[in-house]
Amino acid sequence: MASGPASKRSLVVALCATLLLSFGSLTLTLALGWAPKLGLDLAGGLSVVYKPTTQASKADLLQVVQILSNRVNGLGVSGASVNLQGTNVVVSVPGATNAREILASIGQTAQLLFRPVLCKTSTATKLEPFTGAALPPCGPQYSMAASNLGVSPNPQSPDGYTMNPVQPDPSFSAFPSTPSSADLASQTVLLPSTGDTTERYILGPAQMTGTSLKNAIAQQDQAGAWIVSYNLTGAGSALWDQVAYANFHGLVAIELDGVVQSAPIIQPGESSPRSFGGSGQISGSFTESSAKNLAIAMQFGSLPVRLEPLTTQTVSPTLGRSALVAGLGAGLAGLLIVLLYTIIYYRALGLVIVLGLAVSAAALFAIISALGKTALA
């Protein structure tokens, strides 16, 4: 006899706790603005199919998938997927609004080279066709050698140093930029500057590659400018010191996939070369986006093969949203009919069934929304 009321109280407590947990979770989810993540067909977004430009092994393709996944996740994009279909790599990014930025980051091979700057040039209105012939030497008066630049530390200067102005070499203005097929580390090349379609650099053979880097991160300096701070490997630290010593008070260009990201002067505020101690910074006209893209490419390494986009599709969310609304409408109409039939046929027991379905729906919505918010893929 005593167990009856106690058992009922336990059931009531369990029922109240279940209701509170389910509807409390739903209320919190809605208050936070969370919602289930939709796929590419419903949310819209970006879908790109890449193919290797040369024959690639299975191991190389699997490495490509891993690196591209890291790059996409490094951009803070959730719900993205990178899959291998035969020899093609398929990248799907639901809800992508910055398609151009994502393409620029995930598609690059990230061949990072450190080259000495020989001279600069502008771009002529009409360029000559690329012939593959070796570039001629820079004119002596246009050379960016340290002896020509005459860099001198000057604490009174806003930059902390002064230097001689050196004009661009006009003899290169009609030369076309070196294409990616001829952009070899061992060759002298003519490459454009990022964000500037008129300024180009004549660069010597690479003296260091991105394999000497351990990690990189985009951050703001004390003046609020975006920079990329990096750390070098043990061997890379010694090599970078050698490069810096050889180019002291000269310019070293940081080339990423055929584009000069930055061409800083080596230690302009120092009167004599010193060791970098295994770390350094890349500065230039970076935006937050370009700095993060460069850091991601440096951090997650270069692709073992060159890729080219086979198809690029931007999926509009309009069609998917129409299908979603139609599907939800049909589902709700069918559910209402079933619930009405249940209540009419089972009466009070039908209300219990309806309440149970509502509790399950609230809990599932909260769980799926939370998983979609916290999961990266």
Range of the domain at 95: 40-107+308-315
Q: Can you read off the two tokens belonging to residue 85?
A: 């279909």
* pLDDT tens digits along 190-226: 999 876 667 899 999 999 988 888 888 899 988 888 8
pLDDT tens profile 104-149: 667 665 678 899 999 999 887 778 888 888 899 999 999 999 999 9
Do 133 and 260 lie in one domain? The reply is yes
pLDDT digits (tens, 9 = 90+) for 246-272: 999 999 998 877 888 888 889 887 888
Contact indicator for 236, 212 with CB cutoff of 8 Å: yes
Residue 165: helix, strand or coil by DSSP?
coil
Kindly state whether residues 48 and 124 are assigned to the same domain.
Answer: no
Q: What is the pLDDT confidence band of residue 48, given thresholds at 50, 70 and 90? A: confident
Q: Is residue 140 part of a domain?
A: yes
- Is residue 273 in some structural domain? yes
Is there a contact between 97 and 198 (Cβ–Cβ < 8 Å)? no
What CATH number did the domain enclosing 128 receive? 3.30.1360
CA 206 to each of CA 109, 146, 277: distance values in angstroms, whole numbers, following the listed order? 17, 18, 21
Residues 221 and 326 in one domain: no
Phi-psi domain of 320 (left: phi exceeds 0; alpha: psi -120 through 50; beta: other): alpha
Q: Are residues 154 and 67 in the same domain?
A: no
Whole-number pLDDT of residue 1:
46
Are residues 265 and 326 both part of a single domain?
no
Quickly state the pLDDT bin for 376 (edges 50, 70, 90): very low
Looking at the structure, tell me whether residues 277 and 334 fall in a common domain.
no
Closest C-alpha to 117, from 296, 309, 260: 260
Lowest-pLDDT choice from 28-32, 118-122, 280-284, 320-324: 320-324
Task: Assess whether 202 and 125 both reside in one domain.
Answer: yes
Please indicate, yes or no, if residue 174 is contained in any of the structural domains: yes
Q: Sorting pLDDT into bands at 50, 70 and 90, what band is 236?
A: very high
Query: Is residue 181 one of the residues assigned to a domain?
Result: yes
Is the pLDDT at 31 greater than 70? The verdict is yes
More reliable by pLDDT, 357 or 294: 357
Counting Cβ atoms within 10 Å, is residue 343 exposed (0-12), middle (13-18) or buried (19+)? middle
Percent share of the chain, pLDDT over 90: 23
Beta bridge partners of 189: 203
Would you mind telling me the total number of residues written for the chain in this entry? 377
Is the residue at 366 inside a domain? no
Number of domains within the chain: 4
Q: Are residues 134 and 270 in the same domain?
A: yes
Q: Measured between alpha carbons, how far is 126 from 48 in angstroms, rounded to an integer?
A: 33
**pLDDT for 315 beyond 90:** no
Q: What was the pLDDT predicted at 97? A: 66
* pTM for this entry: 0.57
* 225 plus 325 within the same structural domain: no
C-alpha 3/C-alpha 15 separation (Å) is 18
